[in-house]
Amino acid sequence: MLTELPKIIEDWIWQVDLHHSSILHVSSIRLLRTFYAIFRDLIGGHLQLQAMSLVYTTLLSLVPLLAVSFSVLKGFGVHNQIEPLLLNFLEPLGNKGVEISSQIIEFVENVKAGVLGSLGLVLLLYTVISLIHKIETVFNYTWHVKQTRPFVQRFSDYLSVILIGPVLLFSAIGSTASFMSTAFIQKLVAIKPLGLVVESTATLVPYLFIIGAFTFVYIFVPNTKVHFRSALLGAVLAGILWQTIGWGFALFIVSSTQYAAIYSGFAILIMFMIWLYLAWLILLVGSSIAFYHQHPEYLSARKLHISNRLRERIALLSMYVIAKSHFKGGKSWSKERLSQYLGVPTATVTHVLNGLEKEGLLILAGAKTQVYIPARAPETILIKDILTLVRMDKENKHFNDSMLPTEPRVEQLISNIEAAVNNVLEDLSLKDMVLKHEHSLR
């Protein structure tokens, strides 16, 4: 019974018909599916492995990153706010967090450009940029994006985050602190009913900063367009997890005196690494929530293998709607819109579209929003060529049908099948499929 329970739950979640359900029912089922997908990813171990790799990269790059931020903030006179922010991040570690924070700040202050020299400064920047590139790679994996930013764009985007991001963050924190200490706000605090509201708002400000920072990360880091609504949802849930797990980890630190006795001086490092791992895991879970909210088709289809029969249908449907839009106007078709229309993962649609594009049947048009249009006149694109393209997917000269043994009866059967397909399709073109269908409806 226990071994069959996961399958029973999975079947119950995905057998619910959402087309004839209320909005509340649909929202609750989608929320359950999202939580189940996150749980499935955690059980699979991919999120844990990515978080572990980021812990290693962070340990190598933390001091260089803070050193660069420290140098920039020093020019604006707000470098002294790095330590309070670091203390806030390490707050779940208790007294050990204060000790780690002071050590990191001491390392940062010892990093001097004059001592490093030109080569050392370049290596420092390279280490920082490598950290952000690693973070982008991990987030791209979560969002099923295979291409990273081009080198020039990567360099400019990363440097803008490294140099401008800390200034904006600390300016916002400083402005909030200054605003809360103004005489007008102090007068409001003195009034009992309003004072309670002001104090409650001040208590919520750190949470809002966490949610805002997470939202920015989810929108900026992946090399794809992330909707603000999805990023905000992931940030809110990740922020709740951050505070909850941070509170639980703080209790664990208080009651873990035996670990200090066992590991002695290494206990601080071990606790720091565990908290880094949990912090990255929380951030990745929030990113997964944002991904599943923006691409609900992955909730049910991610674990399925798409057969060649389905690929044929996807290819024909894609070519049909693109050609119909070409002849009759209407909305343009990007890979995201096609994915939503077909109800299959974007990665599957992209694989089919890339094959059609490679064979010269489709091209991408548009500067910002790239949409697909026929690469040549639709009357010259034959339906049998589209089907042949899908059927021959992943075949190459090193392994194809000519290398298989031949049996006369099998060869005859295959010839009959191909002849029957050619007889049905004849010279039917993409234009014929669209316009003949339109005429038959009349």
User: According to the model, what pLDDT value does residue 232 have?
Assistant: 92
Do 39 and 174 have their domain in common?
A: yes
Do 74 and 133 have their domain in common?
A: yes
pTM: 0.67
Tell me, yes or no, whether 53 lies in a domain: yes
Do 418 and 279 have their domain in common?
A: no
Q: Are 114 and 71 in contact (CB under 8 A)?
A: no
User: According to the model, what pLDDT value does residue 133 have?
Assistant: 83
User: According to the model, what pLDDT value does residue 158 have?
Assistant: 73
Do 261 and 325 have their domain in common?
A: no
Mean pLDDT along residues 53-58: 85
Tell me, yes or no, whether 6 lies in a domain: no
The percent of residues above 70 in pLDDT, for the chain, comes to: 69
Number of separate domains in the chain: 2
Distance between CA atoms of 288 and 218, rounded to whole angstroms? 10
Is the model's pLDDT at 100 over the cut of 70? Answer: yes
Give the structural domain span for 335. 308-441
**Nearest-CA neighbor of 244 among 211, 282, 213?**
282
Distance between CA atoms of 336 and 224, rounded to whole angstroms? 11
Mean of pLDDT over the chain = 76
Tell me, yes or no, whether 16 lies in a domain: no
Q: Are 148 and 136 in contact (CB under 8 A)?
A: yes
Do 379 and 281 have their domain in common?
A: no
DSSP 31: H
Do 280 and 148 have their domain in common?
A: yes
Of 235, 261, 296, which one is at a domain's C-terminal end? 296
User: According to the model, what pLDDT value does residue 284 have?
Assistant: 92
Is the model's pLDDT at 387 over the cut of 80? Answer: yes
Distance between CA atoms of 83 and 72, rounded to whole angstroms? 15
Do 183 and 319 have their domain in common?
A: no
Q: Which of 100 and 288 is assigned the larger pLDDT?
A: 288
Mean pLDDT along residues 349-360: 86
| Residue 239 CB burial class (10 angstroms; 0-12, 13-18, ≥19) | buried
Tell me, yes or no, whether 11 lies in a domain: no
Distance between CA atoms of 44 and 388, rounded to whole angstroms? 36
Of 296, 316, 346, which one is at a domain's C-terminal end? 296
Tell me, yes or no, whether 55 lies in a domain: yes
Q: In terms of DSSP H, where are the helices of 295-407?
A: 297-301, 308-328, 335-342, 346-358, 383-391
Is the model's pLDDT at 301 over the cut of 50? Answer: no
Mean pLDDT along residues 274-278: 87
Distance between CA atoms of 194 and 149, rounded to whole angstroms? 49
**Of the ranges 108-112, 141-145, 351-355, which one carries the lowest mean pLDDT score?**
108-112
- pLDDT interval class at 351 (50, 70, 90): confident
Q: Are 80 and 149 in contact (CB under 8 A)?
A: no
Do 292 and 317 have their domain in common?
A: no
Is the model's pLDDT at 354 over the cut of 80? Answer: yes
Tell me, yes or no, whether 103 lies in a domain: yes
Mean pLDDT along residues 108-128: 65
User: According to the model, what pLDDT value does residue 440 have?
Assistant: 45
Do 363 and 247 have their domain in common?
A: no
Q: Which of 35-49, 276-290, 324-338, 419-433 has the highest mean pLDDT?
A: 276-290
Mean pLDDT along residues 4-27: 66
Q: Which of 23-27, 44-48, 89-93 has the highest mean pLDDT?
A: 44-48
Of 275, 296, 317, which one is at a domain's C-terminal end? 296
User: According to the model, what pLDDT value does residue 137 have?
Assistant: 87
Do 53 and 179 have their domain in common?
A: yes
Tell me, yes or no, whether 333 lies in a domain: yes
Do 349 and 270 have their domain in common?
A: no
CATH assignment at residue 347: 1.10.10.10
Maximal C-alpha separation, the chain: 96
- pLDDT interval class at 224 (50, 70, 90): confident
Tell me, yes or no, whether 315 lies in a domain: yes
Quick: pLDDT tens for 159-183.
676 666 665 555 555 555 555 555 6
Q: Which of 188 and 268 is assigned the larger pLDDT?
A: 268
Length of the chain: 442
User: According to the model, what pLDDT value does residue 247 have?
Assistant: 81
- pLDDT interval class at 393 (50, 70, 90): confident
| Paired tokens of 274 | 């565990």
Do 193 and 330 have their domain in common?
A: no
User: According to the model, what pLDDT value does residue 317 have?
Assistant: 92
User: According to the model, what pLDDT value does residue 169 have?
Assistant: 59
Mean pLDDT along residues 32-41: 80
Is the model's pLDDT at 2 over the cut of 60? Answer: no
